[in-house]
Structure 1
Amino acid sequence: MVSDTRESAGSNSATKRRAKKPNAQWKIDGTAPMNHNEEFKLDDNGLNVRERIESTYAAEGFDAITDDDLHGRFRWWGLYTQRRPGIDGGRTATLDTRELEDRYFMMRIRLDGGTLTREQLQTIAGISEEFARGTADLSDRQNIQLHWIRIEDVPEIWRRLENVDLSTTEACGDVSRVILGSPVAGVSEDEILDPTPVIQEIRSRFIGDPELSNLPRKFKTAISGHPSQDVVHEINDISLIGIDHPEYGPGFDLWVGGGLSTNPKLALRLGAFVRPEQAPEVWHGVIRIFRDYGYRRLRNRARLKFLMQDWGPEKFREVLETEYLGYQLSDGPAPPTPQHPGDHVGVHRQKDGKNYIGLSPVVGRVNGGTLRALADLMEQYGTSRLRTTPYQKVVVLDIDSSASDEFVEKARELGLEATPSVFRRDTMACTGLEFCKLAIVETKATAARIVDDLEKRLADVREELPEQLTLYINGCPNSCARIQTADIGLKGQLIPDGHGGQTSGFQVHLGGGLADHHNDGAGGLGRTVRGLKVASDDVAEYVDRVVRRYISSHSSGESFAQWAHHATEEELV
């Protein structure tokens, strides 16, 4: 009898040990916080910190800022402390945030759909020059980021931005981040539908809504009606991609659950057709599913992709329709494989007969002076509209076709190229060690040096290079520069220097790509080769070597990504 009791007790104990811990899903487990991040969000909504910034912190200075505001709620208004100069990448993982950070901020200006007017561009240029030491970066989320911002200057910066209908509201934080949109919405000759009204309605109704400002983590949106699918929809939490339904006409195909970082997942189609008038409500349903069912207990599993992984698209669609919409969505076809690049670099005809011109800086690095000069150039050529892109580019709209060649030449003088080399066009880099507290290696200057070097090294095979060859460079494993989706992706880390020490370098990912035209629709994540790590100073030499191998051995019509997935490891090192 005693033996049976012990056996039963042991069995119960084992069951308890194996019992699955709750994920802190609000609709299942309640809203009691299971970590400090959830505590401070429940204690005080992140949106409320603005009043303290304006009334207290800007007046009393950096030292007055409380910890939860500084390292938490400030993000809800687009503010992060930047990295203190002089701290090498080897100390990133060993120092506390407070030791890594400076008393200055990165400020992210939210640009839903990447839309800007000339007046707005002039305002940003002025803020950059007066308050940000001239800094300005174009991000791959269509935002503009400034650095060296003092807390004392934030209220005045907000006043100037809001005077031209710009803001930093929810540019960071556990909220709906900027909405990616087609940079040529409303002007392209071949777009399926213009998503601008949908983006504007979502922004006006839901951005800054306290009911949606406490999500498990960030929520990323992409909406495009362009056939090039120009918003990297496979790696967003929700994407609405333009399709022409055989029965209902133009609308959107719904994708959910994409995201990269250290555990990358591509979004899945729900098979649902969304009519334009349904799109804001469908978006609202998906973000509320994330709020109510998203995992909150562990920060590294608090993205929608993990819920999608566990539920699958069929259950997700069922919950969306039954609990949040109250009606069934129609089934719809998948969008076709794009036939053209989605970065919009170059000169292209608009539907009204004018041209839009896509311009490439080097890895998104511009400055206040460049932005001001671009605004002046736009005024000279009679246009007031431009867009940023998810590829760290800008697109100027409404240029007369007779003046396009002259405009291209004038833009080139500003360091903005409409006919760039394949390397300048297709290389992106994150912020890196210069300003980011998570970074291990430097990226922007490294990338610029690599581009210059590759243009010289591969000049003799320029005509044999593919139309696109993406090279994405990230300073840490978090993949802000989308390294797993690049032909050649570089993840920053410290590597052995051969002399008993360490040096800045990269792990190499090869053959990544989204479902874009140059991979014939065969999108996917890149592969890694065991032991393949390259020092920062040797990247150009490595890329030169592997690209020449591709040129000499690939099959006719085979993209670099396709070749890289079946090439031997010897060919890739």
Structure 2
Amino acid sequence: MVAQTRENQEGGASAKPRAKKPNAQWKIDGTEPMNHNEEFKLEDSGLNVRRRIEEKYAHEGFDAISDDDLHGRFRWWGLYTQRMPGIDGGRTAKLETRELEDRYFMMRIRLDGGQLSLEQLRTIAGISEEFARGTADVSDRQNIQMHWISVEDVPEIWRRLENVGLSTTEACGDVSRVILGSPLAGVAEDEILDPTPVIETIKERFIGDPDLANLPRKFKTAVSGHPSQDVVHEINDISLIGVEHPEHGPGFDLWVGGGLSTNPKLAVRLGAFVSEEQAPDMWHGVIRIFRDYGYRRLRNRARLKFLMADWGPEKFREVLEQEYLGYALEDGPEPSAPKHSGDHVGTHRQKDGNYYVGLSPMVGRVGGGLLTRLADLMEKYGSARLRTTPYQKLVVLDLPAESVEDFVAEAEELGLSASPSVFRRDTMACTGIEFCKLAIVETKNTAERVVGELEERLADVRDQLPEQLSLYVNGCPNSCARIQTADIGLKGQIIPDGEGGQTSGFQVHLGGGLANYRNDAEGELGRTVRGLKVAADDVSDYVERLIRRYIDTRTEGETFARWAKNAEEEELV
């Protein structure tokens, strides 16, 4: 008996194959929930919590909020509890959510396509100053996020936002998040097509639709008709990238199944050409595939990228066409490799003869006061439109040629640079431990300090630095700041301090990148060097050492990413 049991355990001839657990796919396994997250979503839609916020919680206060609303359904309206001040990163994984959270919220304002009018900008600035202690950050999802929001103030904030055509609807939660769009939509001289009508149609038809308000997890969309491919399309669940079809003219190339976090996967090109008219219905088909076939049993596998990995692009396209569209999509051409940066920093001519100016805040930090001053400056020089970017940048549109120089000079005085250093231009940081309950280390202030120190330390080789060199700083493994896609990505960790204790630090990712003019057309995830961890206080020393080594040993024309990919490990420590 013992021998037989051992044989079974070791997979011998008499062993029975282990039954494969269901993935809680609605079309295969039914809708019976297999975890509490799925239970509360079926019990009551996240969209329904708005009424309770307005009629109950805003009047009775934080303590009246039910657990499933507070830690679940509030997300459907752009609200997360923020981290309580003073809890160090070493305790993040040890404490329950209730022990980590404060009685205030982060509020995410949804900006599809990153588009803001002057009136909308002033409204956000006013809300920041009155209700959010002056906080406001431009995220790398083109949203604006604020902190210190009290539940009592939420209805009034919604009223002000909606009066100017803004909302927080489905800014978070297991829904379709903000739709990334080219910041130059409708204005770029070299635009293949303007994606704005597609983005607006998707938003009007499907955002807030109860039939799409219970997905396995979040669903991210990107749409761009600009040749710089400026919406990080390889890391979204679905992306539409502008191409010119030899027979059908301008349209989109379809990509599906991208996402980062702890198990990064780049999106897969389906080889399908999508016309502007087809795009909304095609998007609707893809999101319903995710709803119906996406994995729900385990939250860490409940993203579309895992379904794509198991199905492959051929099956995915077949299911899309046969079950959801009812027709076959045309095959289409691949997008051409970008010829210039997609962050749009600097001064550039629009197709109407006016100019747009791309400005670089420090790691996305803006704040209500700064946004008010920017609005005043825009109005002074005749601009009424602003765009946010997936690189935590701001793009001011419609500046007359004769005003550009003065505008740029005054924006610089505000701390918004149109000609930033390579470090300021291409450094991003997530929210970090200041407000995020998942964070382990501080990010924004660390990144700002490193930028300043590198500008000073590497002034002697300024002329030898590449035009862009991305440094992305993340407070935890979830990669909100896209660390695996950076030249230098820093993932927050608690690391040994060398003296028997622990300190804040980072694991290093090197040589990542998405499709842009510096790399090949294909994106790549960065490499890690075993055992390479850097204390937060030593980041400037490490990056300086690394860049000087790159300058000294690179071959002609070799990008930092390619050098880092090819270098021996001892060159990277």
Matched, 1:74 2:74: yes
Residue of structure 2 equivalent to 1:19:
19
Residue of structure 2 equivalent to 1:28:
28
1:303-382 → structure 2 map (5 Å cutoff): 303-382=303-382
The alpha-carbon distance between structure 1 residues 41 and 549, as it changes in their structure 2 partners (threshold 3 A), is same
Residue of structure 2 equivalent to 1:162:
162
Cα distance between partner residues in 2 of 1:398 and 1:13: 75
Residue of structure 2 equivalent to 1:256:
256
Cα distance between partner residues in 1 of 2:404 and 2:547: 33
Q: Which segment drifts farther, 518-527 or 46-55?
A: 518-527
Could you list the per-position Cα deviations for residues 455-486 of structure 1 after superposition, in whole angstroms to 9, with x for gaps in the alignment?
00110000100011000000000000000000
1:383-422 → structure 2 map (5 Å cutoff): 383-422=383-422
Could you list the per-position Cα deviations for residues 131-190 of structure 1 after superposition, in whole angstroms to 9, with x for gaps in the alignment?
000000000000000000000000000000000000000000000000000000000000
Cα distance between partner residues in 2 of 1:356 and 1:212: 36
Residue of structure 2 equivalent to 1:135:
135
> In structure 1, the residue corresponding to 2:130 is in which secondary structure?
helix
Residue of structure 1 equivalent to 2:39:
39
Cα distance between partner residues in 2 of 1:254 and 1:212: 21
The Cα shift of 1:13 comes to 9.3
Cα distance between partner residues in 2 of 1:346 and 1:369: 23
Cα distance between partner residues in 2 of 1:15 and 1:416: 65
Residue of structure 1 equivalent to 2:512:
512
The Cα shift of 1:19 comes to 1.3
Cα distance between partner residues in 1 of 2:252 and 2:63: 48
> In structure 1, the residue corresponding to 2:397 is in which secondary structure?
strand
Unaligned ranges ≥5, structure 2: none
Cα distance between partner residues in 2 of 1:259 and 1:457: 35
The Cα shift of 1:210 comes to 0.2
Cα distance between partner residues in 2 of 1:282 and 1:15: 43
Which amino acid is 1:310 matched to?
D
Matched, 1:266 2:270: no
Cα distance between partner residues in 2 of 1:123 and 1:351: 29
> In structure 2, the residue corresponding to 1:365 is in which secondary structure?
coil
The Cα shift of 1:383 comes to 1.2
Count of residue correspondences: 569
The Cα shift of 1:516 comes to 1.3
> In structure 1, the residue corresponding to 2:398 is in which secondary structure?
strand
Could you list the per-position Cα deviations for residues 290-326 of structure 1 after superposition, in whole angstroms to 9, with x for gaps in the alignment?
0000000000000000000000000000000000000
Matched, 1:233 2:233: yes
Cα distance between partner residues in 2 of 1:399 and 1:13: 77
CA contact (8 A) 2:170 2:176 kept: yes
Matched, 1:496 2:496: yes
Which amino acid is 2:32 matched to?
A
Cα distance between partner residues in 2 of 1:191 and 1:35: 46
The Cα shift of 1:247 comes to 1.1
Residue of structure 1 equivalent to 2:483:
483
Matched, 1:449 2:449: yes
Cα distance between partner residues in 2 of 1:14 and 1:476: 42
Residue of structure 1 equivalent to 2:431:
431
Residue of structure 1 equivalent to 2:521:
521
Unaligned ranges ≥5, structure 1: none
Which amino acid is 2:357 matched to?
I
Could you list the per-position Cα deviations for residues 340-379 of structure 1 after superposition, in whole angstroms to 9, with x for gaps in the alignment?
0000000000000000000000100111000000111111
Matched, 1:286 2:286: yes
> In structure 1, the residue corresponding to 2:251 is in which secondary structure?
strand
Cα distance between partner residues in 1 of 2:232 and 2:58: 38
The Cα shift of 1:521 comes to 2.5
Cα distance between partner residues in 2 of 1:14 and 1:442: 51
1:217-228 → structure 2 map (5 Å cutoff): 217-228=217-228
Residue of structure 1 equivalent to 2:184:
184
Cα distance between partner residues in 1 of 2:522 and 2:328: 30
Cα distance between partner residues in 2 of 1:469 and 1:451: 12
Which amino acid is 1:570 matched to?
E
Cα distance between partner residues in 2 of 1:42 and 1:523: 38
CA contact (8 A) 2:132 2:146 kept: yes
The Cα shift of 1:520 comes to 3.0
Could you list the per-position Cα deviations for residues 230-261 of structure 1 after superposition, in whole angstroms to 9, with x for gaps in the alignment?
00000000000000011111000000000000
Residue of structure 1 equivalent to 2:120:
120
Return the TM-score normalized by structure 1.
0.98
Which amino acid is 2:89 matched to?
G
> In structure 2, the residue corresponding to 1:517 is in which secondary structure?
coil
Could you list the per-position Cα deviations for residues 497-551 of structure 1 after superposition, in whole angstroms to 9, with x for gaps in the alignment?
1111000000000000012111133420000111111011110111100001111
Cα distance between partner residues in 1 of 2:165 and 2:108: 15
Cα distance between partner residues in 1 of 2:208 and 2:462: 48
Cα distance between partner residues in 1 of 2:117 and 2:46: 29
Which amino acid is 2:24 matched to?
A
Could you list the per-position Cα deviations for residues 389-411 of structure 1 after superposition, in whole angstroms to 9, with x for gaps in the alignment?
00000000000111101000111
The Cα shift of 1:380 comes to 0.5
Cα distance between partner residues in 1 of 2:36 and 2:557: 53
Matched, 1:145 2:150: no
> In structure 1, the residue corresponding to 2:518 is in which secondary structure?
helix
CA contact (8 A) 2:234 2:523 kept: no
Q: Which segment drifts farther, 516-525 or 400-409?
A: 516-525
Cα distance between partner residues in 1 of 2:323 and 2:16: 33
The alpha-carbon distance between structure 1 residues 238 and 13, as it changes in their structure 2 partners (threshold 3 A), is farther
Q: Which segment drifts farther, 303-312 or 516-525?
A: 516-525
Could you list the per-position Cα deviations for residues 193-220 of structure 1 after superposition, in whole angstroms to 9, with x for gaps in the alignment?
0000000000000000000000000000
Cα distance between partner residues in 1 of 2:485 and 2:478: 13
Residue of structure 2 equivalent to 1:54:
54
Residue of structure 1 equivalent to 2:300:
300
> In structure 2, the residue corresponding to 1:507 is in which secondary structure?
strand
Cα distance between partner residues in 2 of 1:288 and 1:469: 38
Cα distance between partner residues in 1 of 2:563 and 2:378: 42
The Cα shift of 1:12 comes to 11
Which amino acid is 2:164 matched to?
V
Which amino acid is 1:180 matched to?
L
Which amino acid is 2:533 matched to?
K
The alpha-carbon distance between structure 1 residues 13 and 147, as it changes in their structure 2 partners (threshold 3 A), is farther
Cα distance between partner residues in 1 of 2:111 and 2:471: 25
Identity of matched residues, %:
80
